[in-house]
Copies of this chain bind each other. A is one copy, B any other.
Amino acid sequence: MITHTVTFRLAHDCGSAAERDFLDTAHRELSAIDGVHDFTINDQVGAKSDLTLQFSMVFADQAAYDAYNVHPAHVAFVSERWVPEVAEFQEYDYVLHKG
């Protein structure tokens, strides 16, 4: 199980209609892709980063994650919405540490 996360800041104002449209579209388009589980939108509220939002989603395995990355709906969202509307971002992918 892999948790894919991206923490980011939009070029839009917080609470704006443009922000709402971006998040609504992301939720609708990305959570519908095969293999995406638990698609979640969070606010980043800590003072130690100026990033303000996060998407989090879970894949069963690397193959499902790879399929998402090249899925046309994901590729289209990245080029049409993500690239022009996101000011800054950082990706992290997590798997449970086996101690």
Contact = CB atoms under 8 A, between A and B. Distances in A.
The bracket for how many chain A residues form the interface is 20 to 34
A48 B90 contact: yes
B94 A45 contact: yes
Interface of A is mostly: strand
Nearest to A54: B94
A92 B7 contact: yes
Nearest to A23: B99
A91 B49 contact: yes
Contacts of A44: 92-94
Contacts of A97: 23, 41-43, 53
A92 B45 CA distance: 7
Given A2-B45, A20-B99, A99-B23, A51 B94 contact: no
